[in-house]
Structure 1
Amino acid sequence: MKSLILKDLYNIGHNAKSMFFMLFVFALIFVPFSGPEAYIIASGVLCSMMVMTTFSFDDNSKWMKYAMVTPVTKRDLVASKFIVLLIFSGFGVVTGLVIGFIGGIITGKVDYSNMSDILTLPGIAVVGFIIATILGSLSIPLLFKFGTEKARTLSLVSFIIPAAICFGVYEILIFFGVSFTDQLQLILLYCSPVIALAWNLAMYKISYVIFSKKDLLYS
């Protein structure tokens, strides 16, 4: 398992400079206009998409076929992709938190003398991590099912659908007079890790079922 994770991290390491550049460009766009909060979440989602790049490397090198003649199991291979997703998402929100905080001070979006402003950003980072893992995990079953090329387009759709559903539910609740008080938001924040865990476990099981049915040696 450890070797599978390190393989993906080493492969992505070659793109580290490009990713930092993209995060810097995102900072110039989001922080001055939308604030560091939006930037932190965007950074997590952007980095979670790197899991698709690991599949591209695997496809180009025919890694999956090679892995099946080694002691690596399909269960380990699927699990490693989800662990890598967690690492990428964590890297994204932590980097977004640091750059967003600095950019927020420079642009005046964050008052470093206001403790409330400072304490809000780590909470946003937790939310960003949860959103990134949920959206990123949606793409993994598609990648196992359809391969990198077809899954890229479908993954974009899979990112849009949950956002549309959440927005629709929010609008419905507002229509029926449900008020999102600070207490309700705090409850949702505490429940969100459990929801994210359950979601990722479901995506893992779906991914494993899809991958376990593939005969890679003869495909």
Structure 2
Amino acid sequence: MKSLIIKDVYNILHNMKSLFLMLFVFLFLILPKGGAAAYAITCCILCAMMIVTTFSFDENAKWEKYAMVMPVSRKDLVLSKFVVLLFFCIFGMVFGGILGIAGSTIMGKFHIFSLTEWLELLCVCLAGMVISFFLGSMVIPLLFRFGAEKARALMLAAFLLPVLLCSGLYFLLRSLGVILTDTVILTLICASPLVLILWTAVMYRISLRIFKNTEF
């Protein structure tokens, strides 16, 4: 599986110039108003979307057909996509955090000697990575089922659905008089890794089933 991961990372390096350009453009668009936190989350999501590009490269090279005649198991091929997605999310978190801190410090919106601001930004960066991996793992089954081009049209719906569900749940709880206290929020944050692991396992199983049923 290591070779599969290296393949995707190596292929995506050829597209890094456009990615960096896009990230720098969003730096000037988001940082002045949203600050380092908003920019870090944006970077995580944009980098997570690069998983679609890896599928596009595979389709153009007819890679999956070639891989099936090699000693590569379908389980490893599917799992490698989730590992690559995790790498992309981590890269987006680190890149967005560093650049966001530098830019916010220059603009006077971030105080490097404030421990509170560092902890808040760290929590936001981790939350951004979790959210981007959650959304990206939702797209991977669509990519295996419909291919990169068709999945691009469905990706927006896949991203909006959990946002709408969370918003609806929030307004429902508020209408019922349930207040999201700091304790409740902290509990949700602590439970998020377990939820993410379970969610990833489900998406992996769905992706593997789709790929196993695919004829080449």
Which residue identity lines up with residue 196 of structure 1 in the other structure?
Answer: L
**Is the aligned partner of 1:210 residue 2:194?**
no
Q: CA RMSD in A?
A: 0.9
The equivalent residue for 1:49 is 49
Deviations along 1:12-33, one digit per CA (max 9) or x if unpaired, are 0011122111111111111111
Unpaired runs of 5+ in structure 1?
none
Show the 5 A alignment for 1:78-89.
78-89=78-89
Which residue identity lines up with residue 120 of structure 2 in the other structure?
Answer: T
Distance 2:164 2:106 in 1: 33
Unpaired runs of 5+ in structure 2?
none
Q: Offset of 1:109 from its aligned partner?
A: 2.1
Q: Offset of 1:113 from its aligned partner?
A: 2.9
Q: Offset of 1:96 from its aligned partner?
A: 0.7
Show the 5 A alignment for 1:23-172.
23-172=23-172
The equivalent residue for 1:12 is 12
**Is the aligned partner of 1:189 residue 2:159?**
no
The equivalent residue for 2:21 is 21
- Secondary structure in 2 aligned to 1:179? coil
Q: Offset of 1:119 from its aligned partner?
A: 1.7
Q: Give the count of matched residue pairs.
A: 216
Q: Offset of 1:107 from its aligned partner?
A: 2.0
Deviations along 1:186-216, one digit per CA (max 9) or x if unpaired, are 1111111111111111100000000000111
Which residue identity lines up with residue 93 of structure 1 in the other structure?
Answer: M
Which residue identity lines up with residue 57 of structure 2 in the other structure?
Answer: F
Taking structure 1 as the reference length, the TM-score comes to 0.96
Q: Offset of 1:100 from its aligned partner?
A: 0.9
Q: Offset of 1:173 from its aligned partner?
A: 1.2
Moved >4 Å (runs of 4+): none
Of all paired residues, the percent bearing the same amino acid is 49
